[in-house]
Each structure stands twice: as structure tokens, then as C-alpha cells.
Structure 1
Amino acid sequence: MRQTTQAAIALTVVLSCSAYAKESIVPDKTVTYKTLGDTKLKLHVFNPQGHKLTDKRPAIVFFFGGGWMGGTPRQFYQQAKGFAALGFVAMSADYRVIRKHKTTPFECVKDGKSAVRWIRQHAAELGIDPGRVVAAGGSAGGHVAACTGVIQGHEEDGENGDISTLPNAMILYNPVIDTTEKGYGISKVGRERKTEISPCHQVRGGVPPTLIFHGTADKTVPYENVVRFTKLMKEAGNSCSLVPFKDKNHGFFNGSFFRPKNGDADFNITMEKSISFLKELGFLDAE
């Protein structure tokens, strides 16, 4: 209640460019959520102040962007730190990428689902509520997050299928949402499989409540894609809200920690809108 309001007010101050030196945001710990041969995929974990394992906090996991080619969990450190300040156990996930692991977007989706499953499976160790898990991400990472909520199948063999990979909500930042010729990534998924992990083409009922941020001048991922996705989601009976950022290009949401030239104005707006969204869902106390 009042504590959440105070934390929200403090958030834009605490996470402003002047408040954090470039090297000063570091996770509280890292944990391995998936091992494939010599590859260990980790979650970079940010805990709320004074966190106890009995607290059953809401959780949020972020997936970085980079066209499935590369990227770093550091991209979402600023967001993760902000959500931890609000009472979340916040995580930024590593996942396999093309340059480093010689994989495809299909493996990225599998890793995203593995991360959600691992978080839920280890709820007691993390001190989180397995019924309040948010998947979030930007660009290709937004695609990974969206696929955890939309795409059926594409799960890693050998995992516990009794534990759901479906998040309870999604927050997507200029996400790749259409992998056909009308969107982004057809050269990486292949023409013969272009709709298989394309959220626009796989919308169904039962997709978690979704919040999308997207620049209307995005030259990488067409704004029209998220407009169409939002319409399809609503037609399927799902809750989906689109927040347009007028004349903004791709990556506008990155804060000053990851993109110093961006400043924090748009970052702060996305945080404020996310807080309102999560309050409506009961993930944060209302005022």
C-alpha cells in the first residue's frame, strides 16, 4: 500500500542517470537454471531489501535483445534493480544465441521456457510466489518472453512437464512478434517454419495478461506488428495493452545504465506504466 507508493515515487530518483555509476548495478547472485553440455545458462538475481525466503514475493524474469544473435543480461539490470526495489525477486536471464552457441531462435524459445519452469520449480529457494511470475524482454528477448506465453510446445526434453512454463503476465518492449516477411527474423527461422514461433500467428485463448511498449517509428520491428498482435489478443479474449511511444525508434526503453545516451525519461515511463499494470493484476499493492 503506502510502502509500494513510496517505492514507486523513489524509483525514478534511485534509478536516474545521476544516481548510478555505470558499474554500480550488480546482481545479488547468479544461479544456473539450465546446463547443456559445457554450457551453463544463468539467472542474474536481484532481491528486495531484507528479502526472506518465506516472503513469497512476485517474480519477474527479463530476456535481453540482440536479434537472437548475441546480447547480455546486463541490458535489463536497471529494470531488474527497479523491480527489486518494488518488492519483486527480479532476474535477468542468459540464453543461447547464434554467435556464441550456433543455435537458432527455436533454442532461444526453449531456454525462455526452461527459465520460467526453473523459477517456478525453485520458488521456495528463491522466496517467490510461483503463481506470480512475469516474463519480460526486449526485441528478440521480447520474442522469447512472448513465446513463453503464446507458443505451445518447444520445450526442452527431460524437464518436468508437470511444472508449467506459462508465465502469469508478460511485459514486452518493442518485441519481435511476427517472424514472417511482415515482421523480423524470417532469415533466422527459415521460410518453411516462419509461423511456428511467430506469436502473431499462434495467438489463442488463455494467453497471460500482456503489456507492450513500442516506438511508432521503429525501423527494426514494425509498429504495425504489435498493433495487429494486440487486436488478435483481444479477439481471442485475452487482456493486452499497447503503449505507443510517438516517433521513438527501436531500443528507446533502455535506461542510462545500458544506453547512457538515452537518458532515463522513457525508461521511467515504462516503469511507471508497468507498476500500474502489475497493481491491476494484484502483483503489487494498490495505493
Structure 2
Amino acid sequence: MKLIACLLLATFVSLPALAQNAKKAKKAPKEDIKLTSEAVKTREVVYKTTPQGELKLHVFSPSGEVQAAVQRPCVVFFFGGGWKNGTFKQFVPQAEYLATRGIVAACADYRILNQHKTLPDKAVEDAKSAIRWVRGHAVELGIDPNKVIASGGSAGGHLAACTALVSAYDAESDDKSISAKPNAMVLFNPALNISTLYKERVTGEALMTLEMAEAITPNSFLSKDTPPAIIFFGTADKLKLGGDEYVKKARELGLRAEMWSAKDMPHGFFNREPWIQVTARKMDEFLASLGYLGGEPTLKAPEGVPSLDKE
């Protein structure tokens, strides 16, 4: 029963609320956390109009003149909150940092239960729409449509994985000739085994049916063309079981899937200092290994902090 209770919290409660209840992450995330002192260009664009309202991408671009010939990588971040709560602001520090490194970063709005009265299928639909939108506007954004990264935390990590793996729930308004599959994934404690959580009566009937749970379970759909991924978990996070399952399946298929864990850390640990810096540096190194970034991370490693363990 204790296991079920922990999973229920990790799946449904917003990351800030969850962290307040965790022994080793008692403080709510600071809204003024910054990973860089450099200025970046910001703007908002509407990427989708739904019956529940407009959805925006909050875009962070490298400052200075961008040459037309330069096609930069692009990352789209999806916030966490159990498909019920949350805000794009969660990943603003990471987005600003990557913009200073030469990547166009976008933090996406998507439909959530408490604000839009919608279920996870609509969130999956919106995430796929966001990836298609940035690809379809590659020239306007100055990005390389073949270097699109999907990222997110918890439910947002689930959505990022769904853009790569789930074929269900495409918006009727989407241009299906544009792929919603990213070229790489950066996943922070993602929920990857949704059907298992449902069957254990963790997800609850209010959020989805078994049919929906099975349709949006990323772990069920890995294939040879699944893009490379880096995944972060705290070892005290019960959702890590789904991450372990993902990595096992990925490696059996010969895919690149890196798992980095923080000893004894709970769900949402990456939102807190100093782990936000530690995970951002590792994210930078992963993207550099793909050829999306050059040089060493400009973010300094915090001193006296336990390192992440590679599994």
C-alpha cells in the first residue's frame, strides 16, 4: 500500500507540491533560479488553437544577429504536474541556458485537467502538435528540422516520450506530412509505464480508461527507429521502475538510452539546486555528443555535490 501511495503522488501531484512532502527536497523551487547570466531573446507564439483556448510556445533564442544560413537545433520542453497542473515556467532556466549555448528553446503550453478540463489524450495530442509546429516553422525559427529535441519532466517527460513513440492521438488540424517524432529526447523522471500504473489502480478512472492508458504507454512502442535518449531519476522515485524498463528494452534493440540517477533523491529532484545545475550540465554533454552543441558546458559544476551515477 505504501508503494501505491508513493506512485499515486508521483503521478498526480504537481512537482512543487510533491517536493514539499519529500524529506530531502523540502523547499519549493525558486522562481528566480537562473543557470546563466547572459541575456537571450524571448517571444511567444500561438502554435495551436483548441476549443479550450490558444496554446503558446514561449521561445528563447540566442541573442545577437542570427545568420540566415545558420540552422540551430531546437528543444521543446513540456512541464510536469500529473497532466492536471503546471506551467511552462518550470523549464525556463534550462531553456535560457540552452539558448546561450546556441539552441533555440521553447517551453510549451498544453491542455491540463485543472485548467482546461481535459484528459491526458489531449495533452499527448498537443505535445505532438508542438513538435510539428516547430518543424513546420523551421525557416522562421532558424532551426534545423532534423535536430529537434523533445524534453520534459514527470508527466511532461511522458509527453516528450509520446511524441517519439505513440502513434495515437493526432490533432485533426495537424499537418500529418510533418513528423511529430523528435530526433532526440531529454527526459527528467518521466512516467513511462502508464498501463502498469493504471492496472495497479494508481492512475485512477478519473484521468483515463485502460484503453487510453495502453495507447499512451511509451514503453510499449519502442522500435529500431526510436531516437536516442538521456533519462534522469532519483533512486527514491518509484517511477524509476518504468525508466529501468525503458532502458532495458532500448538496449535490447541496440538503441542509445542513457540512465543517470541521483542516489536517494525523490521525484522532482532536478527542479532543485544544486541538482538543476548537475542535470543541466549532463544534458549539455549529451547534446554535444550528438553534435548539437560544441565545446564544454558553460555552466560550472557545483562544488561538493554528489555526482550522478550512470546505470
TM-score range, shorter chain: 0.7 to 0.9
* 1:142–1:27 Cα change, 3 Å: farther
TM-score normalised by the chain length of structure 2: 0.78
Kept after mapping to 1: 8 A contact 2:153/2:188: yes
- Aligned counterparts of 1:30 and 1:100: Cα–Cα separation in 2: 20
Give the letter for the 1:102 counterpart. Answer: K
Question: Partner of 2:10 in structure 1?
Answer: none
1:214-249 CA distance string (max 9 Å, x none): 11101xx42111011111112123211100111000
Question: Partner of 2:221 in structure 1?
Answer: 202
- Aligned counterparts of 2:47 and 2:67: Cα–Cα separation in 1: 18
- Aligned counterparts of 1:122 and 1:275: Cα–Cα separation in 2: 24
SS at match of 1:33: strand
* 1:80–1:18 Cα change, 3 Å: closer
Question: Partner of 1:5 in structure 2?
Answer: none
TM-score normalised by the chain length of structure 1: 0.84
Structure 2 unpaired stretches of 5+? 1-29, 297-311
Give the letter for the 2:91 counterpart. Answer: F
SS at match of 1:180: helix
User: In the TM superposition, what are the counterparts of 1:251-262 in structure 2 within 5 Å?
Assistant: 251-254=268-271, 262=272
- Aligned counterparts of 2:123 and 2:195: Cα–Cα separation in 1: 17
Q: Do structure 1's residue 40 and structure 2's residue 33 form an aligned pair?
A: no
Give the letter for the 1:49 counterpart. Answer: S
* 1:27–1:74 Cα change, 3 Å: farther
SS at match of 1:40: strand
SS at match of 1:90: strand
- Aligned counterparts of 1:27 and 1:70: Cα–Cα separation in 2: 27
- Alignment equivalent of 1:246, drawn from 263, 286, 307: 263
Question: Partner of 1:115 in structure 2?
Answer: 130
Give the letter for the 1:205 counterpart. Answer: K
Structure 1 unpaired stretches of 5+? 1-15, 255-261
1:90-138 CA distance string (max 9 Å, x none): 1100000011111111110110000000000001111111111100000
Give the letter for the 1:86 counterpart. Answer: R
RMSD value over aligned CA atoms? 2.3
Question: Partner of 1:269 in structure 2?
Answer: 278
Kept after mapping to 2: 8 A contact 1:83/1:90: yes
* 1:52–1:228 Cα change, 3 Å: same
* 1:47–1:152 Cα change, 3 Å: same
State the shift of 1:169 in Å.
0.3
Question: How many residues are aligned here?
Answer: 260
